[in-house]
Amino acid sequence: MTGPEQRSVHRDPALVGLVALGGGIGTALRAWLEDVVPRLTWSGAELPLTTFGINVVGAFALGVLLETLALRGADTGRRRRLRVFAGSGVLGGFTTYSAFMLEADTLVRGGHTWLGVAYVAASLVLGLLAAWGGIAAAGRGRS
């Protein structure tokens, strides 16, 4: 029989609840930002800068969170609960792959193919760099 610390996250109702709660918070924050950040247009295309910024900031924050937790010990107890709540939940709800792809598709279908491709490329490159930056920032000063 496996104990609560060994149980898969998806089989632990308390952890699933933490993911759901965090996801609601992250999604609400993203929706609020989408409403309050002004939309910019360029050459007749609405630029998806809010989603772009959200995803880059979220990648950085996830890098910081996961590296910090990894440096502090095994993925058990409070660290596991924090990881699933803040990482899978809040940051998973805050960042958005589906809106990212929908916005890229909208740009391409709207005749702004090069802008859609640039958006995808910049999102992937800067998201990866942001995650690495978060990992580096969390690990700074540790040897």
Q: Give residues with Cβ within 8 angstroms of 135, minimum separation 6.
A: 63, 64, 66, 67
Q: What gap in Å lies between CA 138 and CA 143, rounded to an integer?
A: 12
Is 92 a known ligand-binding residue? yes
Q: Give residues with Cβ within 8 angstroms of 42, minimum separation 6.
A: 115
- Name the phi and psi angles at 134, rounded to 5: -65, -40
Element at 40 (helix H, strand E): strand 40-42
Other C-beta atoms lying within 10 Å of the C-beta of residue 129: 14
Is 27 a known ligand-binding residue? no
**Residue entry with tokens 């709207």:** 110
Residues paired with residue 40 on neighbouring β-strands, in sequence order: 47
Give binding residues as ranges.
92, 95
From the annotation, which residues make up the binding site for Na(+)?
92, 95
